[in-house]
Amino acid sequence: MLGMLKEDKGTVGLVLCLITVSTIIRNSEGHTYQSEDTTDYLLCRGCGADIADASYIRNRFSPEALIHGNQSLFGKQSVAVQLLENPLGIRFRVVVVNKAHCIGVDEWHSEFSWYPGYAWKHCLCSHCGHHLGWIFEPLASAVADRKIASDHGFYGLILDNVLSESFSDSLMVVPKSYKS
């Protein structure tokens, strides 16, 4: 079937098939089931670059959160989402991850930190420069040249600025000529 797609439908059909094969497995009886070890990823909403593996999500609430709760997101049942407000009154829905592919810019700030004992700096997508959230680093290790979080730091990602890879895959449009 894979070879037939390549010959008859072109490279795009092969790519679409490979994407599907990575998450759905067909057993010898012809039944399909979702793979148990599929991992969702958080993507930059600006360019689609991988930002973090969903397994890096941590339920860490800020004492400054206006509202917090758990939601089913990124293939996980209980993801902590909190509403945080900056000094200008701008509100952000934030999820916390231990590791992320975004780059810290500007200087560290200890004032107005949503997490006491942590400094913060803006975190931008390394591919397109889209603002994804903030890096939070313990005050002792928030040195000027640090652009990523240490093992004791973390990232607060703005939920509206990231996208689930599984959701973005569902947005792919298959041309009518490929449908049977």
Residues of the chain with CATH 2.170.150.20: 50-165
Quick check: 42 and 30 in contact, CB under 8 A?
Answer: no
59 and 68 Cβ atoms separated by less than 8 Å: no
**What is the model's pTM?**
0.73
Provide the pLDDT for residue 112: 95
Q: Helices 11-23 & 2-9, crossing angle to 10 degrees? A: 150
- Structure-block tokens of residue 105: 């810019």
**Helix intervals (H) in the chain:** 2-9, 11-23, 165-170
| Residue 93: strand, helix, or coil | strand
CATH topology of domain 50-165: 2.170.150
Pick the closest to residue 103 from 125, 119, 132 (CA basis). Answer: 125
116-175 pLDDT per residue, tens:
999 999 999 999 999 999 999 999 999 999 999 999 999 999 999 998 886 665 566 656
